[in-house]
Structure 1
Amino acid sequence: MQGMGESRTDLLLWLNDLLQLGYTKIEQCGSGAAYCQIFDSIYRDVPMSKIKFNAKQEYEYVQNFKVLQGVFLKHKIDNAIPVERLLKCKMQDNLEFLQWVKKYWDMYYPGGTYEAVSRRKGEVGSAGSKPSMKKSTSVNSVSKAGAAATVARRVASPAVPKANPAPKKNLSPSLELEYQKQFDELSQNNLELKVAMEQMEKEREFYFSKLREIELFVQENLDNGTPKTSVEVLKDIQQIMYRTEDGFEVPVEDEEETY
Structure 2
Amino acid sequence: MGESRTELLAWLNDLLQLGYTKIEQCGTGAAHCQIIDSIYRDLPVSKVKFNAKHEYEYVANFKILQNAFDKHKIDNAIPVERLIKCKFQDNLEFLQWVKKFWDNYYPGGTYDAVARRGGAGAGAGAAGGGFKTTTSNNKLGTPLKKAPSATAVRASRAGGGSTTNAGGLSRAAAASSDRTAELEAEYQKALQDMQQQVMEAKLTVEQVEKEREFYFSKLREIEIYVQEQLAAGLDGGAHDHVLQHISDVMYKTEDGFEIPQGGEGAQAESAIAGGEEETF
Please report the TM-score for the alignment, with normalisation by the length of structure 1: 0.50
Comparing both chains, which one has the higher relative contact order based on Cα–Cα distances under 8 Å and sequence gaps of 6 or more? Answer: 1
Please report the TM-score for the alignment, with normalisation by the length of structure 2: 0.46
Larger radius of gyration: 2
